[in-house]
Amino acid sequence: MSTSPSAAQAPAPWPPLRTERLLLRPVRGGDVPAVTRLWTDPDVRRHLGGPVTAPVIRIRQRRIVGAPGFHAVVRAEDGVLLGLVTVEDGGRDGETEVSYQFLPEHWGHGYAREAVGAAVARVLETAPSVVAVTQEANHRSRRLLEAVGLEHVESFVEWDAHQVLYRRRRDSRAA
């Protein structure tokens, strides 16, 4: 998922969010190595502009621990970090934007769908809508967004790539 370079702000911290198999909670110091892998893994970053550079990683490592809006997704049974779900208020056109990244060894198990679906539901408890953006070529991400009830509403070019904007309004039903 790509995130807008706008002046988006992270929302107030959520209490931990539990699903059947997962826990979404603030990022902790012990999570930094796995989160750093998210930023540097070429497969994870394929549709996100490529791996992040070392100077940017150092800045992110200092800022991510406990940062509002960043939610470590951990498997409830063993605490293994699977990925991140990020929620930004005031993203695209003032709407709340959800993005996510998961480590490749955890792809294909439904974890991202479960975590993103829970995050979207949490956002829609208070926000009128939620949006997500992904590259048009990221077919897996597009299917996930549609599976959690977001609808494709716009296509555009940004960051030299074709992007798609998805949205779900509070009054719409989940798939």
Give the pLDDT of the chain (175 residues) as one tens digit per residue.
Answer: 544 333 455 555 678 999 999 999 999 999 999 999 999 999 999 988 889 999 999 999 999 999 999 999 999 999 999 999 999 987 666 799 999 999 999 999 999 999 999 999 999 999 999 999 999 999 999 999 999 999 999 998 887 889 999 999 988 655 4
Tell whether 150 is covered by a domain: no
Tell whether 55 is covered by a domain: yes
Tell whether 91 is covered by a domain: yes
Supply the DSSP string of 13-54, one letter for each residue.
Answer: PPPPEE-SSEEEEE--GGGHHHHHHHHH-TTTTTTTTSSPPH
| Model pTM score | 0.88
So what's the pLDDT on residue 3?
42
Q: Report the domain count for the chain.
A: 1
Kindly tell me the sign of the dihedral angle through the C-alpha atoms of 138, 141, 146, 147.
positive
Tell whether 79 is covered by a domain: yes
Tell whether 174 is covered by a domain: no
Segments forming the whole domain that contains residue 87: 17-128
Tell whether 23 is covered by a domain: yes
Tell whether 45 is covered by a domain: yes
So what's the pLDDT on residue 12?
59
So what's the pLDDT on residue 4?
37
For residue 85, give the CATH number of its domain: 3.40.630.30
The whole-angstrom separation of Cα 166 and Cα 163 is: 10
Residues 85/102, Cβ–Cβ less than 8 Å:
no
Tell whether 71 is covered by a domain: yes
**CA nearest to 125, candidates 7, 11, 22, 44:** 11
